[in-house]
Amino acid sequence: MSHRIVVCGAGEVGTHIAELLAAKGDSVTVIDSNPERIVSLDESIDISTITGSCTNAEILRTAIGGEADLLVACTDQDEVNLLTCALAKHLGVRRTVARVEHRVFFESSGLDYAQCLGVDGMICPDYSTAQAIARLIRNPGAVAIEDLGQDAVELQEFDVSDNAAAIGMSLKDLKMPPRAQLVAIRRNGTAFIPEATTVIQVDDDVVLVGNKDVVQTARRLFHPDEDPARQIVIMGGTSIAVWLCRSLPKRRFKIRLFEPDRERAAELGNKLDWVTVIQEDVVNPVVFDEEKVGQADVFVACADDDEQNILTCVWAKSKGTRTVVAVSGRTDYLALLNQIGIDYAISPRNEAAEEIDTFLDHAPLQKLSSLAAGVIDVYRARIGPASELIGQTLAESGRTHEWIIAAIRRDGVSFVPVASDTLETGDTLVAIGSSGLEHTLEALFDADSV
């Protein structure tokens, strides 16, 4: 299905988004006040362009052309992007998305700017990049669930210890704290969704979801001993680094952040008091060896210099670091990096573009990620008014071996459900289910009518 899309701003992010959307067959119009950027776009991409200010209502009206499915405002000024989205919504654009960089807008602390201005969504490429890296460090399903939970819900994956109280007990007999549940088990190389009669065995690898105030209590039933914190080293005190530090649970990760600039290092030290901020250049061989960076579990290079990120990751890998992650603004580098020993390469432009794509995905139910590729997937859906589950308790609807509701978001509050909870129209939920269940869950939740 082709969409009519307006992109405001032809910088690096805007140009990349326009390229990807045009390649998918969407009708794209780009607005930018810089004539040179417009000429460059006209010569390289088959799209429509307009030279001018995106805050000019007449220019916007011309670009929209009577109707548009989506407007993406991604200039380098947050205020311009927010104003553009507000104007576009007034002019009849179906959905609007603003790129923002400042936390005050993105986190909506004290005021929901998106709601006030009628903006459907906000994207922050640095935040999206940090979340992608956090997902790699933790596990594929964690961010999908914790994003819905907005820091209220946590997912953990770990093995069952040989001294665990849960060994030999079925889930129905196990006294789990309310608002915590097992959503998947890996046993002898096979992953499955547990039922009430499933008996826990030693060396099971389990996936636990819980409200943050109870998840550690639940974990101790399966893994009473605390695992040593994983060692994470981050190069570069960028905003990506800050978001990443905030996305990794303090008790599970020991983070060292290297930033050579004295003032920036001091600022980060005050802002991230649980992180060890070191005012040194980790590229310095003496510093690298003295700080034993090669013994880190994960090395993340997210400085502002792509080449430095790449070369330092290659070096860290050669020195013994288990996993290395490089941030690269240049998407043409990404396909090559794995060939030179870099485990993961992340592009802020790609992350922003993928988020934009979710606003165009009108599928009533979305597959977000996988807990076990080809076996167990993570789905998100909204409950429609005709769902047969409305009004039933979760106990009445039944926990099956095929799917389970892991988290619910209702009226801005997220929580892990208990057996006595009921589903309501408009609930957004994350379900863990067998791969290929999209149509079954869509019908069950009446997601198509939302």
- Residue 399's pLDDT is 60
Kindly state the tokens that stand for 330. Answer: 């240049």
Residues 349 and 364 in one domain: no
Strands of 376-382's sheet, edge to edge? Answer: 365-372, 376-382, 428-434, 403-410, 413-415
Q: Is there a domain that residue 443 lies in?
A: yes
Confidence band, pLDDT 50/70/90 cuts, at residue 243: very high
Confidence band, pLDDT 50/70/90 cuts, at residue 340: confident
CATH number at residue 445: 3.30.70.1450
Q: Which of 337, 353, 369 is the last residue of a domain?
A: 353
- Residue 311's pLDDT is 93
Lowest pLDDT segment from 99-108, 208-217, 258-267: 99-108
Confidence band, pLDDT 50/70/90 cuts, at residue 72: very high
Q: Is there a domain that residue 434 lies in?
A: yes
**Backbone phi, then psi, for 30, in 5-degree steps?**
-115, 135
**Backbone phi, then psi, for 86, in 5-degree steps?**
-65, -45
Check whether 146 has a pLDDT greater than 70.
no
CA distances to 86, 146, 189, 199 from 193, in Å: 44, 19, 14, 12
Residues 348 and 363 in one domain: no
Confidence band, pLDDT 50/70/90 cuts, at residue 31: very high
Q: Which of 74, 90, 123 is the last residue of a domain?
A: 123
- Residue 176's pLDDT is 92
CATH number at residue 43: 3.40.50.720
Confidence band, pLDDT 50/70/90 cuts, at residue 73: very high
Residues 291 and 368 in one domain: no
Measured CA to CA, the distance from residue 90 to residue 81 in angstroms comes to 14
Instruction: Name which of 44, 57, 60, 56 is nearest 7 in CA terms.
Output: 60
State mean pLDDT over 78-88.
Answer: 94
Residues 348 and 386 in one domain: no
Kindly state the tokens that stand for 409. Answer: 């978001």
Lowest pLDDT segment from 146-160, 238-252, 421-435: 146-160
Check whether 272 has a pLDDT greater than 80.
yes
Amino acid at 100: V
Domain membership of residue 375 as a residue range: 359-449
Q: What is the DSSP letter of 422?
A: B
Q: Is there a domain that residue 374 lies in?
A: yes
Rg of the chain, C-alpha, whole Å: 23
Amino acid at 284: N
Q: Is there a domain that residue 175 lies in?
A: no
Q: Is there a domain that residue 77 lies in?
A: yes
Residues 366 and 250 in one domain: no
Check whether 151 has a pLDDT greater than 90.
no
Residues 112 and 80 in one domain: yes
Residues 327 and 382 in one domain: no
Q: Is there a domain that residue 220 lies in?
A: no
Residues 117 and 13 in one domain: yes
- Residue 81's pLDDT is 95
- Residue 149's pLDDT is 53
Q: What is the DSSP letter of 331?
A: G
Q: pLDDT tens digit string along 32-45?
A: 999 999 999 998 89
Amino acid at 382: R
64: Cα separation from own chain's centroid: 30
Q: Is there a domain that residue 406 lies in?
A: yes
Q: Which of 99, 123, 147 is the last residue of a domain?
A: 123
**Angle in degrees, 0-180, between the axes of helices 239-247 and 125-137, rounded to the nearest 10:** 40
Q: pLDDT tens digit string along 192-220?
A: 999 889 999 999 999 999 998 898 899 99
Residues 274 and 321 in one domain: yes
**Backbone phi, then psi, for 431, in 5-degree steps?**
-115, 140
Residues 423 and 367 in one domain: yes
Residues 371 and 413 in one domain: yes
In three-state form (DSSP H/G/I as H, E/B as E, the rest C), the secondary structure along 204-256 is CEEEEEEECCCHHHHHHHHCCCCCCCEEEEEECCCHHHHHHHHHCCCCCEEEE
Kindly state the tokens that stand for 311. Answer: 């070369």
Residues 243 and 323 in one domain: yes
Q: Please give the tally of structural domains in the chain.
A: 3
Q: Is there a domain that residue 51 lies in?
A: yes
State mean pLDDT over 325-348.
Answer: 85
Mean pLDDT across the chain, nearest whole number? 88
- Residue 140's pLDDT is 52
- Residue 110's pLDDT is 64
